[in-house]
Structure 1
Amino acid sequence: MPFLFSILTVAGMVIALVDLIMRDESQVKHLPRFAWILLVILLPLIGTILWFALGREYSSAGLGGFTPAGRAHQAPAPAPQQSAPPRPFEARSTEEQLADLDREIEYYERRAELERRKRELDTGSVD
């Protein structure tokens, strides 16, 4: 049993190292590639698990599933004529998006307050 665990650990380490080396630098997260290589080599089990859990970037466009027969199936190719061009990816964090929404809400609240005050001045009545 320990022999099988050792074989699986070494196989996982080799797969992680091949995956790590074959990936583009932009797809390696949290640490530089060299640090991930050292982590996987020096701590094979933990490094391999951390690499697949945290270190690599999974893209939905590049994932192909496997059919029960074991053959990979490809996503259908996009139609040659699309109605709208794809929107560019906007890399903003959730916090940045929420801050933008808060500013927008504040803007419209101030605008409504100014409109209310203008109406009060026009009618000559003040609360």
Structure 2
Amino acid sequence: MAVLFSILLLALLIGALIDIITRRDDQVKHLPKVFWIILVILVPLAGSLIWFLVGREYDSEGIRLPSPARERRPRPSAPVAPSLPEDSRSTEQQIADLDREIEEWRLRAELEKRKRDQGGSGAGEAASE
């Protein structure tokens, strides 16, 4: 009797794992597929039963095996990003502009550091530069 129970438990475990792995993400409910796999492996009997009862999405026709020939539901499309204006500058010009911006940031950081080091007395000097 124990051998029969073990074989049935193993078949249920393998069936649940195959079912989880072959399902698309939009057919899995309540948890991500990875967590369902971990649950079924750690707690084979309860995890498999919970998977078949609440974890998977059933078609209106009842139980059907997932097949690639079935009509797939369209996935929601990602929001379209607004189009950015085209940059007419060459790559070299863009790099030169970036280098200039980096140098400006570096100079500002040095000025701020000097102000802090001088205790705020260099505020007039920074404004005159």
TM-score by length of 1: 0.48
TM-score by length of 2: 0.47
Q: Which has the larger radius of gyration?
A: 2
